[in-house]
């Protein structure tokens, strides 16, 4: 067994800890791991080039930028915020939990590309979450806004991840089924997918509770502010 | 017929446009970075076709391109271009246009959804309108074009303004946009170098024999750790399965394969929420939302990820051996 290629993993860990540019770290790790495994330089270059262009679909989100940019120039985020501020009864927690549910259900149907950080979070969910939080605590600072946007992105990720595993015709379930089939165990996709449901429900409950706790922290800060204003 | 390759050409055109605009603004490193990336996107099909035919030179040139990008990346300062319109102007426009602003924004998910659901049935003159591979992503690309048209109509602004705004956002995201592709390439290099099998060999050598719980914990935490390192639960799954899941848990302790596979994968997903290596889910959104810390999204996810992981491990322990 050749253990030397593991140094590539060490390059990643050390590079990220020392905060070198991640792009440089990743390419250095790939080169060192490949060379230590005994790949020739031309073969390694070809492998790198071919695998890079084979995953071009990962950059498709940049195509949303012109439309989103144009709409933001025309005031999309400002409008989402003003609209959110007018909606009575739609609290921060209800907005985020509702989005979480929708995202999870869509992912369970295999529709993961419909929403996402570029498609829905930046133009819609994040500004609406900020406006909903401003209804609770008007004095949000920059750190609060960063945290709110991060929570919106986290809600999007969690909804997607713990929904897509329940969908039978895509990705994870088929990978599991294919692995077992290679090793002589025949399973139907449904038998695998059904066991993703308990965790899907737990993930929904956990993220909802955390969003609600965050909202309560904001409410307490707002109450403290009001008390100070009275004193 | 609409194929995903057209979307790649569109991306290539947008990247090269971004490069040329930077060249005009005398941001030479940025210009070189985006033009090289655009060339890789434009030439990608040729690279794949040539290497399928046994010619490796284009793929090798692609590899050189990737290394050039890595050398350029540290020179790109993440600088936000000034916004082209003041907040007051945007607010005025928001009040004037109102809910119509939502229409183009919602067209992006809506058109994607329609293509994903019904794209397979659309045909013109007996030819399918959408190619089957990557149909949802082809739909997303089409949706972006439709939304740009609609946005330009709604805002009564020429479309090239939209492309210019898109370039501003792309420059703000910078090299983070590139990480998901590089990590996918790294995963393939790791697989070819035998990193996975080496880790599995170490894990099995260290594991105490006999205890089902110890093996289960090693499997679940191994899925998390390996996903954190590789940035992808799909890469971790076959390694941990071949190393611990199949020989120890299923063959020796009689674990249920369906439960072990499904919940084991979900443990890996918890790892995805924790790692900068899953750049497309964690670092790219942080850049897209203009957070000051690239790790802001991960920080918001840690609590949920650990709680979901603990729940999943307990569920696995309860169900997998019955």
Query: Does the pLDDT value for residue A109 go beyond 90?
Result: no
Cβ contact B289–A54 (<8 Å): no
Q: Among A91-95, A140-144, B180-184, B285-289, where is mean pLDDT lowest?
A: B180-184
Cβ contact B180–A110 (<8 Å): no
Could you tell me what percent of chain A has a pLDDT over 70? 98
pLDDT attached to residue A220: 96
pLDDT attached to residue A136: 93
pLDDT attached to residue A147: 96
Q: Is B122 on the interface with A (CB under 8 A)?
A: no
* Cβ B191 vs Cβ B239: under 8 Å: no
- Find the CB nearest B289 among A49, A126, A175: A126
CA distance to partner chain A, nearest, from residue B308 (Å): 6
Distance CA A50, CA B58 (A): 9
Cβ contact B303–A210 (<8 Å): yes
pLDDT digits (tens, 9 = 90+) for B61-109: 999 999 999 999 999 876 656 677 888 899 999 999 999 998 998 898 8
The gap from C-alpha A84 to its chain's centroid, in whole angstroms, comes to: 23
Which residues fall within 8 angstroms of residue B12, CB to CB, at 6 or more apart?
B38, B39, B41, B42
Cβ contact B116–A162 (<8 Å): no
A chain contacts of residue B65, beta-carbon cutoff 8 Å: 49
CA of B281: how far to CAs of A5, A163, B183, B255, B275, in Å?
A: 27, 15, 12, 32, 9
Is the ipTM here above 0.90?
Answer: no
Distance CA B306, CA B317 (A): 17
Distance CA B43, CA B167 (A): 21
Cβ contact A50–B62 (<8 Å): yes
Q: Which residue of A has its CA nearest to B102?
A: A76
pLDDT attached to residue B79: 61
Cβ contact B98–A79 (<8 Å): yes
A 200-219: CB under 8 A from B: 202-203, 206-207, 210
A chain contacts of residue B108, beta-carbon cutoff 8 Å: 64, 67, 119-120
Query: Does the pLDDT value for residue A113 go beyond 90?
Result: no
Q: Is B284 on the interface with A (CB under 8 A)?
A: yes
Which sign, positive or negative, has the C-alpha torsion B102, B105, B108, B109? Answer: negative
Chain B contact probe: residue of A52, A100, A155, A163 with most B CBs at under 10 A? A52
* Cβ B172 vs Cβ B287: under 8 Å: yes
pLDDT digits (tens, 9 = 90+) for B229-274: 888 888 788 878 888 888 889 998 999 999 999 999 999 999 999 9
Cβ contact A179–B237 (<8 Å): yes
Number of CB pairs, chain A paired with chain B, less than 8 A apart: 438
Reference A162, options B235, B273, B241, B224; nearest CA is B273
Helices (H), A74-141: 76-86, 92-108, 126-136
Q: Pick the more confident residue, B187 or A103.
A: A103
B chain contacts of residue A79, beta-carbon cutoff 8 Å: 94-95, 97-99, 101-102
* Cβ B192 vs Cβ A44: under 8 Å: no
CA of A135: how far to CAs of A79, A124, A154, A198, in Å?
A: 15, 17, 21, 35
- Find the CB nearest B311 among A110, A114, A202: A202
Residue in this structure with the two tokens 């109450």, named with its chain if needed: A223
User: Digits of tens for pLDDT over chain B (322 positions)?
Assistant: 888 899 999 999 999 999 999 999 989 999 999 999 999 999 999 999 999 998 999 999 999 999 999 999 999 876 656 677 888 899 999 999 999 998 998 898 889 888 888 888 888 877 888 887 778 788 889 999 999 999 999 999 999 999 999 999 899 888 988 888 888 788 888 888 888 778 777 877 777 667 889 899 999 999 999 899 888 888 788 878 888 888 889 998 999 999 999 999 999 999 999 999 898 899 999 999 999 999 999 999 999 999 999 999 999 999 999 7
Cβ contact A79–B102 (<8 Å): yes
* Cβ A203 vs Cβ A107: under 8 Å: no
B chain contacts of residue A214, beta-carbon cutoff 8 Å: none
- Find the CB nearest A2 among B10, B60, B194: B194
pLDDT digits (tens, 9 = 90+) for A37-88: 999 999 999 999 998 998 888 888 899 999 999 999 999 988 988 888 888 8
Strands B127-128 and B123-124: antiparallel
pLDDT attached to residue B283: 92
CA distance to partner chain B, nearest, from residue A228 (Å): 29
Question: pLDDT-based confidence at A170, cuts 50/70/90?
Answer: low
Q: Which residue of A has its CA nearest to B296?
A: A150
- How many residues are there in chain A? 231
pLDDT attached to residue A168: 65
Q: Is B103 on the interface with A (CB under 8 A)?
A: no
Q: Which residue of B has its CA nearest to A206?
A: B304
Cβ contact A75–B90 (<8 Å): yes
Chain B contact probe: residue of A5, A9, A39, A75 with most B CBs at under 10 A? A75
- Find the CB nearest A22 among B56, B179, B266: B179
Mean pLDDT value of segment A131-146: 93
Q: Which helix (H) or strand (E) holds A16?
A: helix A7-17
Distance CA B135, CA B299 (A): 34
pLDDT attached to residue A9: 86
């Amino acid at each position: 067994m050749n253990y030397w290629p593991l140094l590539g993993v060490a390059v990643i860990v050390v590079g990220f800890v020392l905060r070198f540019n991640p792009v440089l770290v990743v390419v250095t790790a790939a080169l060192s791991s490949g060379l230590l495994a005994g790949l020739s330089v031309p073969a390694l270059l070809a492998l790198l080039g071919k695998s890079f262009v084979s995953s071009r679909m990962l950059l498709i989100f940049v195509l949303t930028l012109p439309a989103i940019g144009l709409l933001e120039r025309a005031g999309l985020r400002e409008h989402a915020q003003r609209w959110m501020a007018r909606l009575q009864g739609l609290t921060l927690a209800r907005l985020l939990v509702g989005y979480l549910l929708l995202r999870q259900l869509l992912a369970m149907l295999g529709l993961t590309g419909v929403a996402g950080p570029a498609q829905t979070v930046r133009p819609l969910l994040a500004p609406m979450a900020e406006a909903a939080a401003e209804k609770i605590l008007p004095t949000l600072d920059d750190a609060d806004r960063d945290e709110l946007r991060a929570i919106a992105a986290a809600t999007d990720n969690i909804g997607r991840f713990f929904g897509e595993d329940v969908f039978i015709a895509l990705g994870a379930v088929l990978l599991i089924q294919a692995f077992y089939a290679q090793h002589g165990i025949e399973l139907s996709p449904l038998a695998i997918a059904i066991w993703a449901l308990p965790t899907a429900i737990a993930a929904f409950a956990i993220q909802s509770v955390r969003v609600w706790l965050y909202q309560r922290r904001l409410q307490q800060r707002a109450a403290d502010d009001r008390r100070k204003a009275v004193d | 017929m609409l194929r995903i390759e057209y979307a790649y050409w569109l991306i290539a055109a947008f990247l090269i446009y971004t490069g040329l605009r930077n060249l005009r603004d005398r941001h030479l490193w940025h210009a070189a970075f985006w033009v090289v990336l655009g060339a890789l996107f434009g030439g990608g099909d040729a690279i794949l076709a040539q290497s399928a035919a046994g010619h490796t030179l284009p793929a090798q040139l692609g590899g050189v391109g990737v290394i050039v990008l890595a050398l350029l990346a540290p020179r790109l300062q993440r600088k936000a271009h000034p916004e082209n319109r003041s907040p007051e102007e945007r607010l005025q426009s928001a009040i004037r246009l109102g809910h119509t602003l939502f229409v183009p924004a919602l067209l992006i998910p809506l058109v994607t959804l329609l293509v994903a659901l019904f794209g397979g049935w659309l045909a013109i003159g007996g030819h399918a309108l959408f190619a089957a591979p990557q149909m949802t992503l082809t739909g997303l690309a089409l949706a972006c074009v439709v939304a740009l048209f609609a946005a330009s109509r709604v805002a009564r602004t020429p479309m090239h303004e939209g492309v210019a705004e898109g370039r501003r956002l792309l420059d703000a995201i910078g090299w983070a946009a590139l990480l998901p592709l590089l990590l996918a390439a790294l995963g393939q290099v790791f697989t070819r170098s035998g990193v996975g099998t080496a880790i599995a060999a170490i894990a099995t050598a260290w594991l105490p024999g006999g205890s089902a719980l110890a093996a289960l914990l090693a499997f679940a935490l191994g899925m998390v750790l390996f996903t954190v390192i590789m940035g992808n639960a799909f890469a971790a799954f076959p390694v941990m399965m071949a190393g611990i899941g199949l020989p120890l848990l299923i063959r020796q302790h009689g674990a249920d394969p369906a439960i072990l596979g499904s919940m084991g994968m979900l443990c890996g997903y918890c790892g995805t929420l924790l790692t900068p290596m899953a750049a497309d889910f964690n670092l790219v959104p942080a850049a897209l939302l203009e957070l000051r810390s690239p790790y802001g999204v991960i920080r918001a996810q840690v609590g949920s990820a650990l709680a979901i992981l603990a729940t999943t491990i307990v569920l696995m322990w309860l169900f997998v051996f019955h």
